[in-house]
Amino acid sequence: MPRDTDQDAANWPEDLQAAAISCPHLSHSQQSQQSRIVRRSVVRCGDTRQRPDLVGAIPVCNEIDRISACVQALKETLANFPGAGVVLMVNNSSDGSAEAALTALMARRMTGIVVDATFAAAIANAGWSRRLALDIAVRWGRPDAVLMTTDADGRVAPDWAAANLAALTDGAHLVCGRIAPDAAEAAQLPSGIGQSDVVKRMYTALSIELDARLDPRAHDPWPHHGLASGASLAIRARNDCAVGRLPRLPCSEDRAFAALVERHDLCVRHSDAALVTVSCRLQGRARGGMADAIAARIANPDSLADQRLYPARITAQRATYWNALRAAWTAKNDTSFLVRRLVASPAQISRARSCSTFGAFWAEIEAGAASLAATRMRPSQLARELPELRRLVALARVVT
- The domain segmentation of the chain, as residue ranges, is 6-299, 312-375
Q: Tell me which of 159-163, 224-228, 293-297, 353-357 is least confident.
A: 293-297
Beta bridge partners of 277: 155, 180
pLDDT of residue 301: 77
Give the chain's mean pLDDT.
88
Share of the chain above pLDDT 90, in %: 73
DSSP state for residue 144 in the 8-state scheme: T
pLDDT of residue 116: 92
Res 30 pLDDT > 60: no
pLDDT of residue 19: 42
pLDDT band for position 400 (cuts 50, 70, 90)? confident
pLDDT band for position 23 (cuts 50, 70, 90)? very low
pLDDT of residue 122: 84
What pLDDT, in 10s, does the model give residues 234-254?
Answer: 999 999 999 999 999 988 999
pLDDT of residue 121: 85
Q: What are phi and psi of 380, to 5 degrees?
A: -65, -35
Res 20 pLDDT > 60: no
Closest C-alpha to 34, from 248, 286, 283: 248
pTM over 0.95: no
Res 193 pLDDT > 70: no
What pLDDT, in 10s, does the model give residues 70-102?
Answer: 999 999 999 999 999 999 999 999 999 999 999
Res 4 pLDDT > 50: no
In terms of CATH architecture, what is 6-299?
Answer: Alpha-Beta Complex (3.90)
- 3-state DSSP call for residue 156? strand
Instruction: Show Cβ contacts of residue 269 under 8 Å, excluding neighbours closer than 6 positions.
Output: 167, 170, 172, 174, 175, 176, 219, 220, 224
What pLDDT, in 10s, does the model give residues 118-137?
Answer: 888 888 888 999 999 999 99
Of residues 396 and 13, the one with the higher pLDDT is: 396
Transcribe 33-93 into DSSP letters: HHT-EEEEEEEEES-TTSPPSEEEEEEESS-TTTHHHHHHHHHHHTTT-TTEEEEEEEES-
